Structure 1
Amino acid sequence: MGNVRLERLHTGMRWAEGPVWFGDGNYLLWSDIPNNRMMRWVSGAPEGGAVSVYRDPSNNSNGNTRDRQGRLVTCEHGARRVTRTEFDGTITVLADSHKGRRLNSPNDVVVKSDGSIWFTDPPYGILTDYEGHKAEMEQDGCHVYRIDPDTGALTVVADDFDKPNGIAFSPDEHILYVADTGASHTPDGPHHIRAFDVSTSGTLSGGLSGGRIFATISPGLADGFRLDTDGNVWTSAGDGVHCYSSNGDLIGKVLVPEVVSNVAFGGPKRNRLFITGTTSLYSVYVGANGAGYF
Structure 2
Amino acid sequence: MRRLPFRPLAGLVTIGLLTLTGCGTETAGPAADVGAAAGADRTIRAQEVMRLTTVHEQTGMTLLEGPVFDEDGKLLVVDVTAPAGEAKVLRVDVGKKTARKVYTDDRGAYTSAQFSPYDGRVYLTDFSHGDIVSLAPDGGDPRTFFSGEVDGARMNPDDLAFDREGNLYVSDSRGMSEGEAKGRVVRIDREGKKATVLADGLASPNGISFDADYRGLWFSELTQNRISYLLLDGKGGVASRHTAIRVDGGIAQTDSIAVDADGNLYQALHGRPAMAVYDRHGERLATVEVPARAAEGLQSATNVAITPRGTRAYMTVSGPAGGYLYTFEAPAKGVRQSNGG
TM interval, short-chain normalised: 0.7 to 0.9
Tell me what 2:15 maps to.
Answer: none
**Normalising by structure 2, what TM-score?**
0.71
Tell me what 2:132 maps to.
Answer: 82
Tell me what 1:186 maps to.
Answer: none
Match for 2:288 among 220, 232, 254?
254
**Residue pairs, 1:228-247, within 5 angstroms:** 228-237=260-269, 238-247=272-281
Identity rate, percent: 21
* Structure 1 contact 165–224 (Cα < 8 Å) conserved: yes
* Structure 1: segments with no counterpart, 5+ residues: 128-135, 183-189
**Normalising by structure 1, what TM-score?**
0.81
| SS at structure 2 position matched to 1:223 | strand
Match for 1:154 among 181, 195, 199?
195
Match for 2:310 among 270, 273, 279?
270
How many Å apart are 1:239 and its aligned residue?
4.5
Structure with the bigger RCO (C-alpha within 8 Å, sep 6+) is: 2
How many Å apart are 1:176 and its aligned residue?
0.5
1:109 aligns with 2:160: yes
Structure 1: distance between partners of 2:44 and 2:279: 23
How many Å apart are 1:2 and its aligned residue?
10
1:283 aligns with 2:327: yes
How many Å apart are 1:217 and its aligned residue?
4.4
Structure 2: distance between partners of 1:114 and 1:38: 25
Please say which of residues 61-70 and 10-19 is displaced more in the overlay.
Answer: 10-19
Distance 1:92 1:262, change over 3 A: same
Number of residues paired by the alignment? 269
Structure 1: distance between partners of 2:185 and 2:46: 36
**Residue pairs, 1:1-20, within 5 angstroms:** 6-11=47-52, 12=54, 14-20=62-68
Match for 2:69 among 6, 21, 39?
21
* Structure 1 contact 40–54 (Cα < 8 Å) conserved: yes
Tell me what 1:142 maps to.
Answer: 183
How many Å apart are 1:103 and its aligned residue?
2.1
* Structure 2: segments with no counterpart, 5+ residues: 1-41, 56-61
* Structure 1 contact 105–121 (Cα < 8 Å) conserved: yes
How many Å apart are 1:123 and its aligned residue?
4.3
Tell me what 1:133 maps to.
Answer: none
Structure 1: distance between partners of 2:247 and 2:109: 28
Structure 1 runs of 4+ with >3 Å offset: 1-5, 99-102
Structure 2: distance between partners of 1:177 and 1:215: 13
State the AA in 1 paired with 2:317.
Answer: G
State the AA in 1 paired with 2:93.
Answer: V
Tell me what 2:211 maps to.
Answer: 170
* Structure 2 contact 161–168 (Cα < 8 Å) conserved: yes
1:224 aligns with 2:256: yes
Distance 1:216 1:92, change over 3 A: same
Distance 1:245 1:144, change over 3 A: same
Structure 2: distance between partners of 1:99 and 1:222: 25
Distance 1:61 1:3, change over 3 A: closer
How many Å apart are 1:165 and its aligned residue?
0.5
